[in-house]
Structure 1
């Protein structure tokens, strides 16, 4: 009997690779949006810091820098808006899921109010603490967009890169909040108990984010991170942190230290921005390389099939009656007919998919852990009336006392609440 795969079989075999290429192109759009979102976050962080000093000084400091930074933030916002337009379902570029669309809508809604807030800052009609909280909330929503983009990524290498980038930007945001709240306390000449506790929590949160970053980052960005940690300004900032850790609430602090604190923290954050730019370029290059490699593989498969079809027309070959499951699980098989070689291509793709799935599950572990922690934190906020920082601090303390990982404690809290819901 002769064996001959049908043209429809060939088309579907090639369609598997074509679908992979399309998914990679969509991921490239998602990676680009993650970068645009990160850039908007950076400009808003700078605007938050400059605005705080402008407000705390009664408009005497950063009077020129404030409008200049607002202009930079607006440019980044416009690029962000243009980018999210490509994520709109139905555009055919990169479909966004429900959670991602909801995150984008929440950000766009808050951005509509930003100019009104800026006018209040310019007229000295806003407290620095109020501004910090509002902008921190906006930045948290922007970070949620990057998280959702990482969560929807179907490529393990790009997922690892997105996880590293997301956690680095998250840690940088905590560093920005530390700069803001520290500047407020120094400018006032004293720190309230809540402010001191907030600074400690922000330092802990930074460490958690940067620890995850180091687990997923590649060698080159890791080396840049270690260089950043060794810079002299970092040591000086740690000295000021140590001074704050020894303060009692409402102890007087020298107000000129506000400028030093802001300068040191800004130097550190600016160096972080350089590393973030490096992560962005690596992310873009990876998405392009992945697409190019998949397209090359598709061309190779087409050439193989054309060659096999031509060769099969010259000879006869027995029908391969080996069960498909056995073929896919075996390390190799003998044959020579067209169907045998088509099976080989199918086997190669099946094993490729299996390997990708295994690597993807490993790469997504950090995302899954964050989901658990965020859900547990939300439950504490809901049932005990805690703020986000208080909920996280309570979870961290309980995890340390029980000598378990934070994610394990989160799983216990979720299970306990689920159990209460069933009773």
Structure 2
């Protein structure tokens, strides 16, 4: 402990600053552990939510045993989270008032799981309500992850944190997609509101994963790119297409609910493995920085030299203003200064603000994506109608729509919409004409 009666010196302040830096990195390492355990609880609840969705939508005919197994697994991880919360609340440097409040909110939700699970076991609530209840709790846990990461006082790891936050968000969006899609398949009937939710969740995942890819390290980006080439991705796209293009009220193959759950789980597990890698990388970075800072403490002369060589940014502005070799431009205002170097601007807040601006610029592109998805849905419905009414194959139905589009110089979407609006007698005439052509 420093002697309070000792005279204050520059060296003392610099050494104390380095000690505070070590404390901040150690605190971040503790937070990485908290984020890791919270992430495990989120993943367990996501799986339980998906299985509960199928169980309720199928009226207890599917996933009964699977759901109970997942509930037991979730309970075990919940207990670990409670222990971490208890340790964090006693930590001397630890949780802020906001963190403690979010932890309390999370515990409130975990306590309510007892009643929720009992209702689901008795099939005493609709599947959509169960999905919403789990999502409500998971949203609070994700908020805790965001707060813990945003409170970091270590700017050098900000890129890792931004990548991790958006990866966590993408994982939850994928989990919600699994639950809503499972509900639809298990019910055996298309429902437009839920289908639209799936479309929105697909779009949201793409946005979150774009941010992740931008801020993640090259090795993690390469790992994610490689995962996109796996066969499960193509299977997921086919199942999504079936789900999103079905007419409201049309029959869905309930046997696909198990396949949907498993394929979506593969994707979520891939995202989870990326999150595990990110947390591991964060811990390694913290350990390296602590070691580096501890070595710096042994070199007080080096610390003083770096202090002199790296003055505050504002001093550069003032020096230029009073440099006789440079004509003065304007009096340096409060808050003015040169544009910060990339390393200086690498705080989490700066990165998130910059990304917010980037996402705002992407809205036009996202609108185009939404329109494309809706257009594809209309075209798929028109193909389905031609197949059902005229006995066409899928390929022949699409060729018929394309040919009409070219012959009439109209958009394919317009032709599809016109096809959907044709009355029954029109299809009867077309069927008769088709029969005459075949004779």
Decide: shared fold, TM above 0.5: yes
- Partner residue, 1:293: 292
CA gap 1:325/1:287 in 2 versus in 1, 3 angstroms: closer
Contact 2:182 2:257 in 1 (8 A): yes
Aligned residues: CA RMSD? 3.3
| TM superposition shift of 1:204 | 0.6
> Max radius of gyration: which structure?
2
| TM superposition shift of 1:40 | 0.8
- Partner residue, 1:211: 210
Contact 1:151 1:367 in 2 (8 A): no
CA gap 1:271/1:284 in 2 versus in 1, 3 angstroms: same
CA gap 1:399/1:60 in 2 versus in 1, 3 angstroms: closer
| TM superposition shift of 1:58 | 3.2
- Partner residue, 1:80: 81
TM-score (normalizing by structure 1): 0.71
The alignment partner of 1:113 has SS state of helix
- Partner residue, 2:26: 25
| TM superposition shift of 1:16 | 0.8
- Partner residue, 2:95: 95
Q: Which whole-Å deviations, capped at 9, do the CAs of 1:174-202 have from their partners, x for residues lacking one?
A: 11111111111111122211111101100
Greater than 6 Å deviation, 4+ residue runs:
302-305, 324-328, 354-357, 369-374
CA gap 1:128/1:175 in 2 versus in 1, 3 angstroms: same
Contact 1:21 1:294 in 2 (8 A): yes
Contact 2:296 2:303 in 1 (8 A): no
Contact 1:87 1:96 in 2 (8 A): no
* Contiguous gaps of at least 5 residues in structure 1: 306-323, 331-353, 377-394, 402-423
- Partner residue, 1:196: 195
* 1:364 maps onto 2:349 in alignment: yes
CA gap 1:82/1:299 in 2 versus in 1, 3 angstroms: farther
Distance 2:162 2:88 in 1: 20
Distance 2:52 2:302 in 1: 61
CA gap 1:182/1:79 in 2 versus in 1, 3 angstroms: same
The 5 A counterparts of 1:145-164 are: 145-164=144-163
CA gap 1:327/1:140 in 2 versus in 1, 3 angstroms: closer
Question: How many pairs align?
Answer: 336
Distance 1:365 1:327 in 2: 19
* 1:251 maps onto 2:250 in alignment: yes
* Contiguous gaps of at least 5 residues in structure 2: 1-5, 305-310, 318-339, 369-439
Distance 1:241 1:188 in 2: 16
| TM superposition shift of 1:365 | 3.8
Distance 1:369 1:122 in 2: 46
